[in-house]
């Protein structure tokens, strides 16, 4: 199947990423072997290495993808809505999120390759929080960075829980999160 339309190429690439995402969600980072991705996608190893130079590149692509979607969701509908959307849209995204985040603590190479792929989301993110503070939707007695960090912490921790399929009432958790970052009533 040579020299083919751009849509075909894109769909092949997406096909690989889809399979890899499922495998990553089911077996974790190191359990996501090429063989399993081959099996899941139905493609051959040759095909996969044609689209991605090595295995890590696939995982980096998945990590960048979830990172992008998360920032977009937050800046569109706020933290609570972003959490709901990530869960709703594709639970496997949460697994990708966790595996990616955990991978960042060791594997310096992964850090750099992911950074190269997913740059430029953070600025948007920060700007959005400051905007919300100015509009009185978020407390402004703490630095916007800390609000962002706290929210991310909760999102990551929550994802970790859900991925382990532990019973969790997402609505309650988001309510508690909002309680933590909503503007404080004047004493």
Tokens 């970790």, residue located: 160
27 is a site residue for a second copy (CB under 8 A): yes
What is the Cα–Cα distance from 151 to 23, expressed in whole angstroms? 28
Tell me which residues in 75-114 interact with a second copy (CB under 8 A): 95, 98-99, 101-107
What is the Cα–Cα distance from 56 to 63, expressed in whole angstroms? 10
C-alpha to C-alpha distances, 122 to 24, 96, 143, 152, nearest whole angstrom: 25, 19, 15, 12
Where does this chain touch a second copy (CB under 8 A) — which range of 47-55, 61-69, 121-129, 167-175?
Answer: 167-175
> Residue 14: which of DNA, a second copy, none does it interact with, CB under 5 to 8 A by kind?
none
For residue 145, the minimal CB distance to a second copy (Å) is 8
Tell me which residues in 24-43 interact with DNA (CB under 7 A): 32-36, 43
For residue 103, the minimal CB distance to DNA (Å) is 13
- Maximum distance among all alpha carbons in the chain? 70
């Amino acid at each position: 199947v040579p020299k083919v339309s751009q849509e075909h190429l894109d769909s092949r690439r997406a096909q690989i990423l889809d399979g890899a995402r499922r495998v990553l969600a089911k077996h974790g980072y190191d359990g996501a072997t090429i063989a399993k991705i081959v099996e899941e996608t139905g493609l051959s190893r040759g095909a996969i290495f044609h689209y991605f130079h090595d295995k890590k590149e696939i995982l980096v692509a998945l990590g960048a993808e979830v990172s992008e979607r998360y920032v977009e969701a937050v800046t569109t509908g706020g933290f609570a809505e972003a959490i709901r959307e990530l869960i709703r849209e594709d639970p496997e995204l949460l697994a990708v999120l966790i595996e990616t985040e955990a991978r960042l603590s060791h594997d310096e190479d992964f850090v750099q390759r992911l950074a190269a792929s997913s740059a430029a989301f953070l600025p948007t993110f920060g700007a959005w929080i400051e905007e919300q503070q100015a509009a009185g939707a978020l407390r402004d007695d703490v630095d916007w960075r800390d609000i962002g960090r706290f929210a991310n912490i909760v999102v990551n921790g929550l994802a970790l829980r859900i991925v382990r399929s532990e019973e969790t009432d997402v609505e309650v958790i988001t309510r508690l999160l909002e309680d933590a970052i909503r503007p404080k009533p004047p004493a």
